[in-house]
Structure 1
Amino acid sequence: MDTALTRLAGVRHPVVQTGMGWVAGPRLVAATAEAGGLGILASATMTYDQLAAAITETRGRTHAPFGVNLRADATDAGDRIELIIRERVRVASFALAPKPDMIRRLKDAGVLVIPSVGAPRHAEKVAAWGADAVIVQGGEAGGHTGSVATTLLLPAVLDAVDIPVIAAGGFFDGRGLAAALAYGAAGIAMGTRFLLTKESTVPDAVKQAYLDRGLTDTVVTTRVDGRPHRVLRTEVVNQLERAGPARGLLRAVRNAARFRTLTGLSWPAMLSEGLAMRRGNDLSWAQVIMAANTPMLLRSGLVDGRTDAGILASGQAVGLLTDLPTCAELITGIVDQAAEILTRLGGLPQ
C-alpha cells in the first residue's frame, strides 16, 4: 500500500509500531520491520550501551528500515543522536519536541525526524523546524496522552501542516487504517496492539490481563507522574488515586533511587535530567519527582509481570482485542482489510 509514509521511510506498509518503554525491544521491532511496517526501538528505558546493543541486535535480525525513539531532554541526547547517525538508523522519533539543532543534525546526516505531537501548534512548530513527518496522538492512546479524540485532532493537524501525518490513538485493525487514509493521514501508529503480539516480550500472564479487559477498563490518571497517563484500571492505580501527596512523593523518591541503580545514572545526572524536564515541560518540582515513578512502575508490570505492583499503560482499543497474532499476521491482516474497504469504496489512494 503506497503512501507518503511508505515512500519516505522505505517500508512496504503504512503501519508504525510505537516506541513503548520496556516493550519495544529488538525482537518486536525486527518482527515489525520484517513484516513491512516501521518498528521503533524505545530508548528512554535503556542506557546508552543498552541502546547501542539493541541497535546491533535489531540489525542482526532484519535488513529492513527501523527507528529509535529518543528523549529530547535526556542528558546524553546528543550522544544518542550521534549513535543513531553512526549506525545509519533510518528514523529518529521523539515523544517530546526535539530542539531545532537536533532536527538539523539528524537531517543533515540523512536521518528522518518524526516527532509525536498532541496539538496542531506543536505540529506547526516542529514542521517549521524541519521535521519530516509527525505522529499525532489522540486521547484514546495509552501512556501519556491528551484529552482530544483522534477523530478531531487528526483533521486539525492535517489542516495545520503540509508534511506527512501519521495517526495514533484508537487504531487496531484495517478499518482504522482505511479511516485514517480517508482523513488524509499517511498511515497509522499503534502501541497496545503491538504489545499484544507473539513477538512482544511482555509476560504471557500480563498479556492475558490486557485481553481480559473491556472498553471501559482504562483510566487517565495524573497520580503516576503528575501528567495525564492512560493505564489499565487496577488496584495499584486505585491505591495511587487514594494516596495523599506526601505518600506519593515518598514512593517517587524510592523509585528514583531504584531507577538510578538499574541504569547506573549518577544523582547529578538525574538532577540534570530533572532540571531539563522541568524547563521543557513547565513542571513543578513535585511533578518532576513524581516522574520518577513512571519507569519503575511500568517495569514492574511489563517486564517483571507484577500486575499487583506495576502500572500497565494501555490504549482504549484494548477492549476490542481478543488475540495474540504474530506481527506478520497483524500487519498483513490490517493492510488486506484496509485495501478491501478502500477498493469497495472506490479505489486505493494514489
Structure 2
Amino acid sequence: MSEACERTVGSAKPQLDTALTRLVGVRHPVVQTGMGWVAGPRLVGAVAEAGGLGILASATMSYPELAAAIKETRERTAAPFGVNLRADATDAADRVELLIKERVAVASFALAPRAEMIARLKDAGVVVIPSVGAARHAEKVAAWGADAVIVQGGEGGGHTGGVATTLLLPSVVDAVDIPVIAAGGFFDGRGLAAALAYGAAGVAMGTRFLLTRESTVPDAVKRRYLESKLDGTVVTTRVDGLPHRVLRTELVDGLERAGKVRGLARAVANAARFRGLTGLSWPALIREGLAMRHGRDLSWAQVLMAANTPMLLRAGLVGGRTDAGVLASGQVVGMLDDLPSCAELITGVVDQAVEILARLAATTAVEHR
C-alpha cells in the first residue's frame, strides 16, 4: 500500500495521511476553495465536519459580515477551517488581526500576500496557504515563509491561467519544498490519487463543492451547471480584463460578441444595475475597477466590469439570474451529474483514492516478484 495510506487507530478504513493533513490537522487531504458568494458558513462547516478543509470566502464580505461568518462557522464545527483573504483589500490588515483573534486555522490568499503579512500570521500560529499560478510565484511565497501553496491549472474556474494542471503541478512540486495542493480539474478519487502521484499533498475543489447539497447556490443555477458539457465553459477577458473561466451564458456570449462601443454601453448598464446593491457611488465604483487592473491595460468597459464583477457573480450565484449573472466554473462541470452531501463527496473521493493507490501498490509488488 502507498506510504500515503495509513490505517487510523480504531478505524475500519485506511485514511490518507499527507503533509496537508498533518499541517492543518484535518482528516482528509481535500480542500474546498474560497468561492465568492458560495463558500459561506453552511458549506464550510459541512466540509470541516466531513474531515476536509473548508475555506470561507471573505472577498465578498464586509468586515462585520466576515466576523459574523467566522462565529457562525465556529457554531457549526469545532474542526479546523480557513478564510480566504484579498491581500490588496484596504482593510486587509484588520482582517488578518481578526483571523488571529478568532484563532482561525488557515489563511488563504488569491493574490500573493506581502512578506510582512505572512510573518504576522505565522507568528500567531495561523497556517498561510497562498494560491499561485506559476512555479516562480510559488518560489517567491515559499521564500517569504508560506506554509503551503494551492496551484490551479487552466481547467479551474474563476480567474485562471493557461497552463494545464498536469504540467503546472509537477513544475511547482519540483520548485518548492513546502506542501503543494493541486486545483483545477479535480472531482473524484482518481484525481486525488493522480495528484498524490505527482507529489501533491492533496487536492482543492471549487465547482465540485458548489454542486453539493449544502451549497447555498439556488437550485435553478445548480441545474444550469449540471446541464453543462465539457465544452460548456469559456475563458474570457471581457468580464474584468483578466482571464476568467465561466459558464457560457447569454451575458457572457454578449460580452464576447460586443465591440468596444457596445461593450462599454453594456458595462455601464450592468454597473448601473448592480450599483444599487453595493451602495457605491460612480466615482467609488470606478476607483474599485481601477484598483483591480493589476497593471493591465484595461478598456473603460473592462474597468467598469472589473468594479462590478462581484455583483455579476452575486446575481447568478445568490440571485439565481442565469441570464444576467456571471457563473464561474471549472471545466470539470461537464463531468458532474449529481448533488452529493459534502460528507458523501469527501468520503467517496478518499475511499476511491485509497482503493486505487492500494491496487497500484499491489500491481507493482507483483511485477517485482
Band the TM-score falls in, shorter-chain normalisation: over 0.9
Aligned-partner residue type, residue 147 of structure 2: D
Which of 165, 168, 188 aligns to 2:180? It is 165
Aligned-partner residue type, residue 235 of structure 1: E
Structure 2 alignment gaps of length 5 or more:
1-15, 363-369
Residue 346 of structure 1 aligns to a residue in which SS?
A: helix
d(CA) in 2 for partners of 1:318 and 1:246? 33
Report the TM-score, using the length of structure 1 for normalisation: 0.94
Cα-to-partner distance string for 1:280-312 (whole Å, 9 max, x where unaligned): 444546344331231111111111111111111
1:6 aligns with 2:27: no
d(CA) in 2 for partners of 1:105 and 1:241? 42
Residue in 1 that maps onto 2:239? 224
C-alpha displacement at 1:237, in angstroms? 1.1
Cα-to-partner distance string for 1:17-55 (whole Å, 9 max, x where unaligned): 000000000000000000000000001111111111100
Residue in 2 that maps onto 1:277? 292
Aligned-partner residue type, residue 228 of structure 2: R
d(CA) in 2 for partners of 1:100 and 1:149? 28
Residue in 2 that maps onto 1:186? 201
Q: Which has the larger radius of gyration?
A: 2
Aligned-partner residue type, residue 221 of structure 1: T
Overall identity of the aligned pairs, in %: 81
1:139 aligns with 2:176: no
Residue in 2 that maps onto 1:53? 68
Which of 324, 329, 352 aligns to 1:337? It is 352
C-alpha displacement at 1:246, in angstroms? 3.4
1:37 aligns with 2:52: yes
d(CA) in 2 for partners of 1:68 and 1:263? 22
d(CA) in 2 for partners of 1:152 and 1:124? 16
Q: Does the 8 A contact of 1:135 with 1:166 survive in 2? A: yes
Residue in 2 that maps onto 1:122? 137
User: Cα gap change, 1:330/1:167 in structure 2, threshold over 3 Å: closer, same or farther?
Assistant: same
Residue in 2 that maps onto 1:246? 261
d(CA) in 1 for partners of 2:195 and 2:281? 44
**Deviates most, 269-278 or 287-296:** 269-278
Residue 203 of structure 2 aligns to a residue in which SS?
A: strand
**Deviates most, 172-181 or 232-241:** 232-241
d(CA) in 2 for partners of 1:84 and 1:134? 19
C-alpha displacement at 1:321, in angstroms? 0.4
Q: Does the 8 A contact of 2:286 with 2:303 survive in 1? A: no
C-alpha displacement at 1:260, in angstroms? 5.6
Give the number of aligned pairs: 346
C-alpha displacement at 1:259, in angstroms? 5.7
d(CA) in 2 for partners of 1:268 and 1:91? 35
User: Cα gap change, 1:66/1:160 in structure 2, threshold over 3 Å: closer, same or farther?
Assistant: same
Structure 1 alignment gaps of length 5 or more:
none
1:89 aligns with 2:104: yes
Q: Does the 8 A contact of 1:255 with 1:292 survive in 2? A: no
Residue 291 of structure 1 aligns to a residue in which SS?
A: helix
Residue in 2 that maps onto 1:323? 338
* Root-mean-square deviation over aligned CA pairs: 1.8
Report the TM-score, using the length of structure 2 for normalisation: 0.89
Residue in 2 that maps onto 1:79? 94
Aligned-partner residue type, residue 57 of structure 1: E
